[in-house]
Amino acid sequence: RMDQALLMVRSEVPALGLRLAARSAACHQCLYQFLASIPPSNENSDKPGTVSVMVDTQHPLTLLLNSSDSDRDLCKIQFHFGEFGNYSLVVKTLSTSTTTVSCDLVINEGPINSYLPILFAFLVYMGILAVLIAGHLLMKIDPVRNWVYKKLNPRETDRLINSELGSPHTADSVSSDPTPPLWSSASRQRLRSLDTFRGLSLIIMVFVNYGGGKYWFFRHESWNGRVQLRRHPSALFSRFVFIMGTSVSLSLSSMLKWGSSKRKVLGKILWRSFLLILLGIIVVNPNYCLGPLSWDNLRIPGVLQRLGFTYLVVAALELLFTRSGAESGILETPWPALQDILPYWPQWIFILMLEVIWLCLTFLLPVPGCPRGYLGPGGIGDFGNYPNCTGGAAGYIDRLLLGENHIYQHPSSSVIYQTTMPYDPEGILGTINTIFLAFLGLQAGKIILFFKDQHKQIMSRFIVWSTVMGIVSAILTKCSKEEGFIPINKNLWSLSYVTTTSCFAFILLLLLYYLVDVKRVWSGAPFFYPGMNSILVYIGHEVFENYFPFKWKMRDSQSHAEHLTQNLTAMTLWVLISYVLYRKRIFWKI
């Protein structure tokens, strides 16, 4: 199967049974897991004892071989097996004594290169991009453009030629183009980089949610780990939260500027939050696969639920404490370097109080059967000492307040760490840090409003914020995956996870803002289109996930190429759907 290799163990050690165990390099402080018992060789027939096992190929493994009667370690081998490879582990005695043995790993059949489909897909998309760029450049040539318009709309071309205006000029050709201008004055009021940011995160999220070609590195991190593009809501959902905060700042400012009362705006905030939470519970609920929706197995937390509650808190906080003149720079501050922060000190105090609550609950709340401040995955982690402590205080609070049947039943830690306790990555305690991340996005929006059209100031502030968040992350994690004060953990939505993702989010927003809104060398396409219809694309891809043409029966379910083709096709279809909706001026807003 995918992510597996065949290992045949051949023991030529007489009168000694062996036990084979393995431990994954991705499993921190884990116990060795039993794989197989190898019978002793037959001295009379010289027939070795053999057994075949499947081994994992996602991460390097440490194989431990010991005698079955005395648990004495005979040999230890570290090796990274290749997918669909065929290997043999030959165990021999070095002398007539069986006290010393040798273990040799032999490659019977080499693994396949499972990354070739990714390379092929990359070349295909690059080819499509090259064709589109070449077409765009050719359309700038007057004869080519006029010929294309004549072929596409011959009647209009004949009318222009036969009219008193004479032959069509460039202006005439452009005006006959049904495509709206890329940089019209109306669209200039809306920052395309924000929609591009949102759409980029959303489309990668769709690809990963649909399976990511069944490649292990597109899946969730088992527990602690780096922030990378491949993680489903790790770098993707978190960036969605970040840009939501940025949009809140800009949209509230616009509504209040156009004369909407705070009471009316608050009503919109409450209604939108309610709809997001409702859609998350009723429409996008993964427990549908267990049968008809019922309270017995209804998952209460979720992505849209967390988005809805986070939006409610951040938007209400901004509406409650907003001050006229702060965004335009009219208010004077004693420290110019903090002029985009000090006017919003009530909001910052509230956010810092929330973080104090998170720290106290995480590290001081007593959890039955678990050490105080435990942040581990439980299961076989931490040498199996705390198997039922998955998530520490975060998991305990969810199981206590929501019930075990109403949270996520198959956390990512169950694969490597073999956890048995349900744990929800969108649980209650982690929502506090989601609010913090959205507030950092809100701060980005305030920078854009405060330094309106001052591109250098905006970009320099983004760099400063990214640097500060990066330094905080380095301190919290000690630049280590496992040994920091607060490790980066998407499942817990740890404080270091928020500071790290916001560090990269500020950088990404800076790049997109520079390319799309400052230099205008890129329109943001094709990511701009799903960014304009993000709620529709997200809910649509969840609801129609198992329907054709987004999914079909495969010839070989163990083929990365087939899975990758299916997932990329589904992702591309949602981009095309969002493009058609954009051209039709259909936008689903909540």
Do residues 287 and 293 lie in contact, with contact meaning Cβ atoms separated by under 8 Å?
yes
Binned at pLDDT 50, 70 and 90, residue 177 comes out as: very low
Tell me which of 243-257, 338-352, 394-408, 430-444 is least confident: 338-352
Q: Residues 545, 549, 553, 558: what is their CA dihedral angle, to the nearest 10 degrees?
A: -70
Do residues 76 and 64 lie in contact, with contact meaning Cβ atoms separated by under 8 Å?
yes
How many CB atoms neighbour CB 290 within 10 A?
14
Half-sphere exposure (Cβ direction) of 323: Cα atoms closer than 13 Å = 15
How many Å apart are CA 2 and CA 559, to the nearest integer?
Answer: 7
- Residue 318 pLDDT: 93
- For the cut 80, the answer to whether the pLDDT of residue 194 exceeds it is yes
Tokens 């197989």 -> residue: 36
Q: What order of strands is seen across the sheet that includes strand 86-93?
A: 49-56, 4-11, 86-93, 101-109
Planar angle of CA 156, 161, 165, nearest 5 degrees? 105
Binned at pLDDT 50, 70 and 90, residue 590 comes out as: confident
Binned at pLDDT 50, 70 and 90, residue 226 comes out as: low
Q: Residues 114, 116, 117, 123: what is their CA dihedral angle, to the nearest 10 degrees?
A: 160
Tell me which of 33-42, 160-169, 315-324, 332-341 is least confident: 160-169
What's the pLDDT tens digit per position in 283-294? 777 655 555 667
- Residue 284 pLDDT: 72
- Residue 333 pLDDT: 61
* Two structure tokens written together for 485: 């004060």
Give me the DSSP letters along 409-436: SS-THHHHS---S---TT-HHHHHHHHH
Q: What is the 3-state secondary structure (H, E, C) of 232-299?
A: HHHHHHHHHHHHHHHHHHHHHHHHHHCCCCHHHHHHHHHHHHHHHHHHHHHHCCHHHHHCCCCCCCCC
| pLDDT-above-70 percentage for the chain | 86
194 by DSSP, 3-state: which?
helix
Rounded mean pLDDT of the chain? 86
How many Å apart are CA 538 and CA 234, to the nearest integer?
Answer: 16
Instruction: Phi first, then psi: give them for residue 406, nearest 5 degrees.
Output: -110, 15
- Residue 335 pLDDT: 66
Can you tell me the mean pLDDT for 343-369? 95
What's the pLDDT tens digit per position in 449-494? 988 889 999 999 999 999 999 999 999 999 998 989 999 999 999 9
Tokens 């901004």 -> residue: 318
- Residue 17 pLDDT: 83
- For the cut 80, the answer to whether the pLDDT of residue 275 exceeds it is yes
Can you tell me the mean pLDDT for 197-206? 93
- Residue 45 pLDDT: 56
How many Å apart are CA 98 and CA 305, to the nearest integer?
Answer: 62
How many Å apart are CA 220 and CA 55, to the nearest integer?
Answer: 20
CA distances 79 to 38, 61, 108, Å, are: 20, 6, 15
Residues with Cβ within 8 Å of residue 237, at least 6 apart in sequence:
201, 205, 303
How many CB atoms neighbour CB 548 within 10 A?
8
| Catalytic entry in 28, 220, 406, 541 | 220
The size of the chain, in residues, is 590
- For the cut 70, the answer to whether the pLDDT of residue 308 exceeds it is yes
- Residue 293 pLDDT: 65
Can 563 be counted among the known catalytic residues? no
- Residue 67 pLDDT: 85
Query: Is the pTM value of this prediction over 0.85?
Result: yes
What's the pLDDT tens digit per position in 60-114? 999 999 888 777 788 899 999 999 999 999 988 876 555 678 899 999 999 999 9
- Residue 182 pLDDT: 39
- Residue 178 pLDDT: 42
Can you tell me the mean pLDDT for 199-212? 92
Binned at pLDDT 50, 70 and 90, residue 181 comes out as: very low
Can you tell me the mean pLDDT for 120-138? 92
- For the cut 90, the answer to whether the pLDDT of residue 169 exceeds it is no
How many Å apart are CA 572 and CA 282, to the nearest integer?
Answer: 27
- Residue 530 pLDDT: 96
How many Å apart are CA 495 and CA 351, to the nearest integer?
Answer: 12
- DSSP conformational letter for 550: T
Q: Residue 578: in which H helix or E strand, if any?
A: helix 560-583
366 cis-preceded (ω within 30 degrees of 0): no
- For the cut 70, the answer to whether the pLDDT of residue 587 exceeds it is yes
How many Å apart are CA 476 and CA 433, to the nearest integer?
Answer: 15
Tell me which of 135-149, 286-300, 576-590 is least confident: 286-300
Binned at pLDDT 50, 70 and 90, residue 327 comes out as: low
Tokens 């045949």 -> residue: 8
Binned at pLDDT 50, 70 and 90, residue 196 comes out as: very high
